């Protein structure tokens, strides 16, 4: 296992030099889950139609959150994203809501952080809108599923 | 279980009116965990001294992230935070790093979202700095631990 | 008619001193309209259910936009908003979509700019989502409708 | 008239994939007007010299606003702008101030939203600086005038 | 000389708790200088009228910069500023431009950082606009001049 | 000495058109110093280990500040930075802390402003963390050291 690349030989943090990398098409997919009371999930499900579209709002927040990643994560490179797609599905067995984010760019470094950040913001937004009825929700299982493009090639989490 | 307060009778989202609430001292505590390979944790632990202070950087990112909460979470009220404190501890049994965030304000609404957002940003930042050696880290167990101040009084998660 | 208060005697711009004003409850209401082809409006109306909720997204953008006002308008005071409410209605006679924004704060200055900014961002967002089918939409009639609180008292636009 | 591209088949909003588009030089021009009392316009005109340069400040706000477009409009792609030019002219017949914004990029998608956003922020800024003397100003006629570059070629609004 | 208050006993950084402090009127004044070639200063001076108002733009950037302080300085508390005033004067003897910033708030902590940040952004903006003709400009003497309000009372730099 | 390029013939500010420039690798290096009491420097030096890592936090703030440059400096082009490296050294003879920032991009315009902004934010952050023990610190000598890439070629400040 190699050293942490975000630090120089003296231990000082840096934004890693990616200027020598090729600008290629890159994609990352991440997922996460927010667990909640069955009644909370029921409120979200019934809201899709007329009583407040929790998932629609979380989706927008996630897309906007992906664009803010480099402002939040100190050593992250700013990247012009070319695609953000968010899937939010109710998971009755959790019970809760599952989020998957796919992010793409044509750039010199990957978009894993953007995909993970989008998932986090989606879950936070669901928490915010449901916290008045359920304080005990838990955000969990936020992880990278897939990464494509760049020197390291295609990687997919084994399940 | 009541309705979701972030929507009006027709289902339209809104920033809930808190103008009639008292401005009181409020506190929230949240926690979360990032699980990783034992070797990754070892790299973080050895870095505290000379090879790169991953936890110190995550702490700063978390404090700054708390201040950006209302920009990320659509219906969140902007609040002038009066205190942000972040505890990051290595958890050898996970193995991983545990984060706890305490946030306070003197305001008209609580700071649960700020505490949760701080935890999420801390975990994301750790992920970013270690992802070159460990893509499979998982952020998990992000939840509210305590909430004090305001009409609903003091609440603490049962363990 | 008095001088412009945002400039000192020498003509230099400044953020006007409001430190001596009372912190009171203040409200502003603004409105605006985006005119479009009848077919565009039809696409928006049919989207409320399953094909894409243009108005729901514009509402969220408007609420978030209200929170960013002081970043966009140079001499605007930052204010902790206590309420933002956005009404979006289709206006078949325009044809188009009408937006009204109500913003409140407990602060030392009014929230007219926040209400107007929310309306502008709502209309921009509708434009963005429909521009692929209708480039000629026009945003129009963006104006203040009402203002309450503070020394100048209650004002309502005559119609 | 086609479907709205910002939504998938199930109606979920997305940031449209532009990764397959060519990166070409693109330009957009937008305009808008703020109408006001003749006395308000007179104050603006006399301020150009020594008493406060309302138009100069609005121009700066518009340029800065163009750079923030992707933060305000949820599904907008972040783009590295290569040129922003703002023309502000007094329109004695309105009476009011007319704003035109020209924005360019070398990118994978157009800059219509940036040009429109720049116009909106210019008009908002003028409103802010003059609102103490004229609450009834109206922002109107905000529209796209021209669009060049990309697959759809050159388009110009007919007058 | 006491310890650094931004760290706890274990050396972890924190946003210091100001929740117990009184919310009082506070003011800070800071200054700084940008030195340049005499020809560069001459270009700035001649621009005040028709050829580009460098100082007017720097003033606006400084006011807007003051509002962003808590986003830039990690442990800074976000504060609703009640006044920002920027004085920019040509200093023929330097030669260069001198900037002074006065910032006020009604809050629980001081606004020294906001005043210093405003000065820094003013000087940076002047550098940006003149760098094509003079790369060797130096920003210097950025310091606090005065601080009023809060427990520590009134302080003024001795000259 | 030529005219200021940020203004058109009529004196209106603009974001200069760089669309016709080549996208090449560009680098800028800037430096600055914060002077302080010897005791303050001693506190910083002793904090590197256990009592609070002032320089580590300033380094992170500087990297994040570099990414925000185009939001602070009105006419600055937004650029996707490919590298940011910050060196912070104690300068016992000043006494104080010296900061050097190296920034790179592959873009159509230089990154001098980003390097200077990074230095300014580093110094501001040090000031913030030490101001409780030393209000009289002075930030000084902020200047460009080197610039490479683009039509104007390689430039280095003579010493």
B128 catalytically annotated: yes
Global pTM value: 0.96
> How distant is the Cα of D103 from the closest Cα of chain F, in angstroms?
9
Q: Give the residue on D whose Cα is nearest the Cα of C57.
A: D74
* CA separation, residue D84 to residues A46, A66, D112, D157, F9 (Å): 46, 25, 12, 20, 16
pLDDT the model gives residue B110: 95
Do F101 and F86 contact (CB within 8 A), yes or no?
yes
Task: pLDDT band for C48, please (50, 70, 90 cuts).
Answer: low
Kindly state the helix (H) or strand (E) to which residue B153 belongs, with its residue range.
Answer: none
Count helices and strands (H / E) in chain E. 4, 5
Q: What is the DSSP letter of E77?
A: P
Residue E48: which pLDDT band, with cuts at 50, 70 and 90?
Answer: low
B123's tokens: 């975990």
**Phi and psi dihedrals of D6, rounded to 5?**
-80, 5
C-beta separation of A103 from A81 below 8 A = yes
Rounded Cα distance between B81 and B107, Å, is 9
The pLDDT score that the predictor gives to residue B1 is 42
Chain E residues with a Cβ under 8 Å from any Cβ in chain C: 25, 56, 59-60, 63-64, 66-68, 80-88, 104-106
Against chain B, the chains showing at least 3 CB pairs within 8 Å are A, C, E, F
Which residues in E lie closer than 8 A to residue F138 (C-beta atoms)?
141-143
The arithmetic mean of pLDDT across residues A99-105, rounded, is 98
| Concatenated DSSP letters of E1-25 | ----TTB-TTS-B-B---TTS--EE
| pLDDT at residue C36 tops 80 | yes
Query: Is it the case that residue E56 has pLDDT exceeding 80?
Result: yes
Question: Could you say which residues of chain D have pLDDT below 70?
Answer: 1-2, 48-52
Specify whether the CB–CB gap between E137 and E32 falls below 8 A.
no
Q: Mutating which of B19, B21, B113 best tests the C interface, going by the most C Cβ atoms within 10 A?
A: B19
CB-neighbour burial class of residue E126 (10 A; exposed 0-12, middle 13-18, buried 19+): buried
- Residue E11's pLDDT band (boundaries 50, 70, 90)? confident
Structure ipTM: 0.96
The fraction of chain F above a pLDDT of 90, given in percent, is 82
pLDDT in tens, D42-64: 999 987 544 568 999 999 999 99
Report which of residues F52 and A140 the model is more confident about.
A140
Spatial distance between the Cα atoms of F44 and F47, rounded to a whole number of angstroms = 5
Q: Closest-CA residue in chain F for E120?
A: F120
**Which of A5, A73, A121 is facing B61, going by the closest CB pair?**
A73
Whole-angstrom distance, CA of residue D62 vs CA of residue D85: 9
C-alpha to C-alpha distance for E81 and E65, rounded to whole angstroms:
12
pLDDT at position D49 is: 47
CB-based contacts of A57, cutoff 8 Å, min separation 6: A125, A129, B13, B74, B75, C56, C60
Residue C12's Cα: distance from chain center in Å?
27
Peptide bond into B112 cis (omega under 30): no
Residue B63 pLDDT exceeds 90: yes
Nearest to F147, CA basis, from F99, F113, F98, F97: F113
Nearest-by-CA chain C residue for A50: C49
């Amino acid at each position: 296992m190699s050293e942490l690349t975000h630090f120089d030989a003296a231990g000082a943090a840096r934004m890693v030099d990616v200027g020598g990398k090729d600008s290629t098409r890159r994609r990352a997919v991440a997922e996460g889950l927010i667990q909640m009371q069955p009644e909370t999930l029921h409120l979200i499900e019934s809201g899709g139609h007329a009583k407040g579209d929790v998932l629609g709002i979380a989706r927008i927040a996630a897309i906007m959150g992906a664009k803010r990643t480099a402002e939040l994560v100190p050593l992250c490179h700013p990247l012009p994203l070319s695609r953000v797609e968010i899937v939010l599905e109710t998971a009755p067995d959790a019970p809760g809501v599952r989020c998957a984010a796919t992010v793409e760019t044509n750039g010199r470094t990957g978009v894993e952080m953007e995909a993970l950040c989008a998932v986090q913001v989606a879950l936070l937004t669901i928490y915010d809108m449901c916290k008045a009825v359920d304080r005990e929700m838990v955000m969990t299982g936020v992880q990278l599923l897939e990464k494509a493009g760049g020197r390291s090639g295609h990687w997919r989490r084994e399940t």
